[in-house]
Structure 1
Amino acid sequence: MLDKDPDGSVGENIHRQIRNDIIFGRLLPGQKLRLEPMRQAYGISVATLREILSRLTAVGLVTAEGQKGFSVAPASECDLMEVSELRIMLEAKALKDSFAHGDLNWEANVVAAHYKLESVEAKVFAQKDDIPPDLREDWKRYDWQFHRALIQACPSKNLLDLHAIVFGKFLRYQLQTKTIRGEIAADEHRQLLAAAKARDTEAAIAILKQHIYGSAAHLAPAGTPSAED
């Protein structure tokens, strides 16, 4: 989802670029996506651009407004809560299945993904809330890769695909705030790693709920459910 793919087709690469521009906040919630300026900016035809925006509409990152064209999907606290619940539902199921099927290679990939995430987290925390955009993007890319590694042994491609869509929506909210949860989130990542090594599904799901609800509360304190709900 957030990984760079220099070997893909032009259309797929531009699709990935526009999607990431929405997720990382370079295209803002509610912003009009005017075809001619976008065609020039991304170097593609209007027909290809329309196809890409239609695909992004199908996954909820863009809204189509009939004759008015396309806009970046709006953001709201209600939507954040719904996305949080969906992420927990999908990721918890994928974690359970991944723990059941994961082999030594899977575990090694989880450890490696966490090592990369922990390394960039140290750089982020050193910056406190004044994080350069490139570092913030690297951080969230490694965050995605770690969570993806945890569930990668799940045998359901449909489940993994749905999770990627919902994770992207959740990440969009995370990148709308300049503040960070810092060491709390990093400690939850360490706990998830330990649970993965022990194949402790119950502990992993409990930590995951705490991790997602905690992040949602940081983004929108009012009306956020607790991890015990």
Structure 2
Amino acid sequence: MLNHEDFRFDTAEREGDTVGEIAYRRIRLHIVNGRLKPDEKLKLDHMKQVYGASVTTLREILNRLAVEELVAAEGQRGFRVAGVSDAELAALAELRILLETYALRRSIERGDLDWETRVVAAHYKLSSLEGMLMRDQSAAVEQWVASDWGFHYATISACDLPVLARTHASVFDRFARYHMLALDFRGKPAAKEHADLRDLVIGRKADAAVNLLSSHVRSGAAHITASGRFG
């Protein structure tokens, strides 16, 4: 089973965490949730006060995030938050589809009753938040993004390929960043697609599930692109 701890939308401290690891998770989350804006200059002296880490540690963190393409290194000029564009969003959507559909097929083949239970439970939580959002409770968008991850993670959690899991999680993170910046939920169509995907996954209908997942991701990207914010 894949490890849900490989990817987190929270900054909860865990036993044995170093100052650097805590700061890394906080900075990463603040980029994904839009608190740190695209192209924002990352000033080390200010970040030292906010995140409680030394300048040396912060440089290491920002270089690590640059490898993940959440931060851009500018040589002697320092670091900034990675920019956004419709072209990158489209590329992330296709990469997510490539990774997630493979993992989904493998999970459908290998998943047991416990896996099915995780899928149903994760969908229940997600659908509850989707109901809130459809009643215009926009404050729940960040919770929805985390629960959207939780559901999609659950569907592929029987894949049992940790390297694939980590790569997919990183791509999902960058894709989710666009949702958080747009602060927009696609509404009833997205909720229905999630419910249909749950049923297809539990029913072990791999071809139909993969086709629905692919169109679901592309529709989400198209909805964000239509906002006109990232051209």
Same fold (TM over 0.5): yes
Compute the RMSD of aligned alpha carbons.
Answer: 1.4
Quick one: which of 60, 78, 97 aligns to 2:106?
A: 97
Question: Is the 1:174–1:219 contact (alpha carbons within 8 Å) kept by the matching residues of 2?
Answer: yes
Aligned to 1:177: 182
Return the alpha-carbon distance in structure 2 between the equivalents of residues 137 and 219 of structure 1: 15
- Aligned to 1:60, what secondary structure does the other structure show? coil
1:158, distance to aligned residue in structure 2 (A)? 0.6
1:54-133 equivalences in 2 (<5 Å) = 54-127=63-136, 131-132=138-139
Question: Is the 1:2–1:144 contact (alpha carbons within 8 Å) kept by the matching residues of 2?
Answer: no
Quick one: which of 197, 202, 208 aligns to 2:202?
A: 197
One-letter amino acid of the counterpart of residue 147, structure 1: H
Aligned to 1:7: 14
1:198-213 equivalences in 2 (<5 Å) = 198-213=203-218
Aligned to 1:227: none
Runs ≥4 residues deviating over 3 A: none
Return the alpha-carbon distance in structure 2 between the equivalents of residues 3 and 60 of structure 1: 17
TM-score by length of 1: 0.91
Return the alpha-carbon distance in structure 1 between the equivalents of residues 204 and 168 of structure 2: 20
Count how many residue pairs are aligned between Structure 1 and Structure 2.
218
Q: After superposition, give the CA deviation of every residue in 1:197-222 in whole Å (9 maximum; x if it has no partner).
A: 11111111111111111011111149
Aligned to 2:221: 216
Aligned to 2:3: none
- Aligned to 1:138, what secondary structure does the other structure show? helix
Question: Is the 2:32–2:173 contact (alpha carbons within 8 Å) kept by the matching residues of 1?
Answer: yes
1:162-173 equivalences in 2 (<5 Å) = 162-173=167-178
Q: Tell me the percent identity.
A: 44
Aligned to 2:4: none
Return the alpha-carbon distance in structure 1 between the equivalents of residues 179 and 132 of structure 2: 18
One-letter amino acid of the counterpart of residue 149, structure 2: W
One-letter amino acid of the counterpart of residue 77, structure 1: D
Question: Is the 1:39–1:46 contact (alpha carbons within 8 Å) kept by the matching residues of 2?
Answer: yes
Question: Is the 2:32–2:177 contact (alpha carbons within 8 Å) kept by the matching residues of 1?
Answer: yes
1:22, distance to aligned residue in structure 2 (A)? 0.5
1:179, distance to aligned residue in structure 2 (A)? 3.0
TM-score by length of 2: 0.91
One-letter amino acid of the counterpart of residue 122, structure 2: A
Question: Is the 2:9–2:29 contact (alpha carbons within 8 Å) kept by the matching residues of 1?
Answer: no
Question: Is the 1:87–1:167 contact (alpha carbons within 8 Å) kept by the matching residues of 2?
Answer: yes
1:3, distance to aligned residue in structure 2 (A)? 4.0
Which segment drifts farther, 43-52 or 74-83?
43-52
Question: Is the 1:113–1:149 contact (alpha carbons within 8 Å) kept by the matching residues of 2?
Answer: yes
1:125-164 equivalences in 2 (<5 Å) = 125-127=134-136, 131-132=138-139, 135-164=140-169
1:180, distance to aligned residue in structure 2 (A)? 2.1
Quick one: which of 48, 53, 66 aligns to 2:62?
A: 53
